[in-house]
A and B are shown apart, each in its own frame.
Chain A
Amino acid sequence: MSEDRIPGFDTLAVHAGAQPDPTTGARATPIYQTSSFVFDDADHAASLFGLEAFGNIYTRIGNPTCAVLEERVAALEGGTAALAVASGHAAQHLVFYTIMDPGDEFIAARQLYGGSINQFGQSFKKSDWNVVWADADNIESFEKAVTPRTKAIFVESIANPGGRVTDIAAISQVARRAGVPLIVDNTLASPYLCNPFEHGADIIVHSATKFLGGHGNSIGGVIVDGGTFNWSREGRYPMLSKPNESYGGLIFHETFGNFAFAIACRMVGLRDYGPALSPFNAFLILTGIETLPLRMQKHCENALAISEFLDAHDKVAWVNYAGLPGDRHHNLAEKYCPRGAGAVLTFGLKGGYEAGLQLVSNVYLFSLLANIGDTRSLILHPASTTHRQLTEQQRSAAGAGSDVVRLSVGIEDKEDLIADLEAALESLP
């Protein structure tokens, strides 16, 4: 493409990272279903292991199919580089592994996917990486949580399951002042609806399982490096700014510049912990991304229609969808997600916990399962499932109180979806 044209999002979604295969001419990205790659000779092998040359060694560390996915997502987010891994949780783990040392702290919004609350609050403790919780609706609570040991701030752009929109720019100001990177989980918005780097994020993580893949068929995760953070300024991020023994004393930031974070996540975290993405899953997620813009438009259109229907229903106590004009996050949605507030919404039933359990059992198009971001419409009662391990207090803080039902609205005909919900609501006492 001519170099003075800046390609649009939809063009990038189809093309970024994917040139025809240089040997066969295959136009679709081939699935390089191989564990390993032959070296040209012993010196080439040594150069690759020493990071002196770019190339493929072993699929735990990199694979050409996965690499197309990486460049595609990096381009859609406007980042310098990306790393695809086995799941969204693996992405988060590698990001924090690269940033944190034992005894360090990071600040995270309380309004997160339940699994992330567990990962941060329970499993990370074993490595002595200590989460300090803040309230996404109260910027001051982030400011107050900063200590000399703070190494990062983590938020979701649109929070799961509450459907809240986060004031990324305001929180990025707190991160700037604290001299730490802002990490944004952009899973629910997808890069089509929200661009966190434009608002001051330094690193983006995705559960590619959700809207990027979009068809509910593959687990995957992506880390995107914004190339914006100066890892060497105060020497507080030794993985990036100090010599790495396992590479003979190489310094990642000095060697790889503004994509050093992505390379360090790959060449240390992924190499040693091993959550590699299967090339087959990378292929499915890539295929999904080609239709991301079309799907997100339909997801948003359907979600708005359903939230309007629910809002007017007399068995529904409240609806949380930032796309609704009266919603308390509507202004933030207009700023951060101008093309739509996403596919995930929650609502409360006047009948409480029991009514929630009954409703999710009485639908026939919506599937009762623990996922979001599928072409199919999905329904869940978080309090009895995804957020079950949390305390009552954590549940309501996360937007998953006992009366809450979560929908991930698919791309079916909205009239059919509304009819399904209407019948299920009728069946409630």
Chain B
Amino acid sequence: MDHSRYPDSYIHNILLRTKTIAMVGASANRVRPSYFVLKYMLAKGFNVIPVNPGLAGQHLLGQLVIGSLTDITEPVDMVDIFRNSEAADGITDQAIELKAATVWMQLGISNTDAAVRAETAGLDVVMNRCPKIEYARLSGEIAWAGVNSGKLSSQKPKLAGKGFQHLTLRPQRNRKNQG
């Protein structure tokens, strides 16, 4: 994978197939990017498990915080890393062990060695990106903030069905009834 430029379909597929995200480095501080992403991904219907040894046992936005990736018992589809690039090494190895399908490193974080190990083990890797920004970009929500989505389409964006201010990536169910 060329990690300098991901095809939209690559990111789109990852976000569509992912159900459970383990977020390593989740913060309880309401203005930290990890808190924003936790809240946003929960609102988009993902099951997000916050991971932070300092907050283990507490709840963030109703989600029980787990102390370490290795303590998680349910299947994890994606590990989202909100730690620095060095820490991404060990976390990636744990993600491989957990049999997660995707390792995602946040904006500003990349670790090429870890990426190679994960890809060799069959995982998909995304580095230096934010899943909230990517979800909002691909669904069209981010255009409300004047951001260049890099997408052109003559098809209608998909309403998420929670009022007009939420768009989704999920295929629409009642297409027939929508005329």
Contacts and interface: CB of A to CB of B under 8 A. Distances in A.
Interface of A: 1, 3-4, 7, 11-12, 15-17, 19-23, 25, 27, 37-40, 44, 47, 50-56, 62, 64, 66-68, 70-71, 74-75, 79-84, 243, 247-251, 254-255, 257, 259, 262-263, 266
A79 B156 CA distance: 24
B140 A62 contact: no
Contacts of B153: 1, 19
Nearest to B146: A70
Size bracket, chain B contacts: 35 or more
Nearest to A248: B31
A266 B40 CA distance: 21
Nearest to A243: B31
Contact of B145 (A4, A16, A79, A266): A266
B162 A53 contact: no
B125 interface: no
B23 to A, nearest CB: 15
Interface in B7-63: 7-9, 30-31, 33, 35-36, 39-40, 43
A20 B147 contact: no
Contacts, number: 124
A83 to B, nearest CB: 5
Given A79-B148, A250-B31, A71 B143 contact: yes
B81 interface: no
B13 to A, nearest CB: 12
B107 interface: yes
Contacts of B130: 257
Contacts of B152: 1, 7, 11-12, 15-16
A54 B145 contact: yes
B163 A40 contact: yes
B117 interface: no
What is the interface of chain B mostly: helix, strand, loop, or mixed?
loop
**Listed residue (B7, B31, B40, B142) with the most chain A CB atoms within 10 angstroms of its CB:** B31
Interface stretch (B72-80, B84-92, B93-101, B164-172): B164-172
What is the interface of chain A mostly: helix, strand, loop, or mixed?
loop
B9 A3 contact: yes
3 closest A-B pairs (Cβ-Cβ)? A70-B146, A74-B148, A40-B163
B136 A247 contact: no
Contacts of B39: 47, 52-53
A74 B146 contact: yes
B148 A71 contact: yes
A368 B33 CA distance: 53
Contact of A68 (B30, B143, B150): B143
B156 A37 contact: no
Contacts of B166: 40
A23 B147 CA distance: 21
Contacts of B164: 22-23
**Listed residue (B40, B133, B144, B164) with the most chain A CB atoms within 10 angstroms of its CB:** B144
Contacts of B7: 3-4
A203 B5 CA distance: 22
A22 B157 CA distance: 5
Contacts of B167: 22
A62 B36 contact: no
Contacts of B124: none
A12 B164 CA distance: 26
Contacts of A71: 143, 146-149
A51 B130 CA distance: 15
B155 A19 contact: yes
Nearest to B140: A19
A17 B153 CA distance: 9
A62 B162 contact: no
Contact of A53 (B40, B143, B149, B154): B40
B83 interface: no
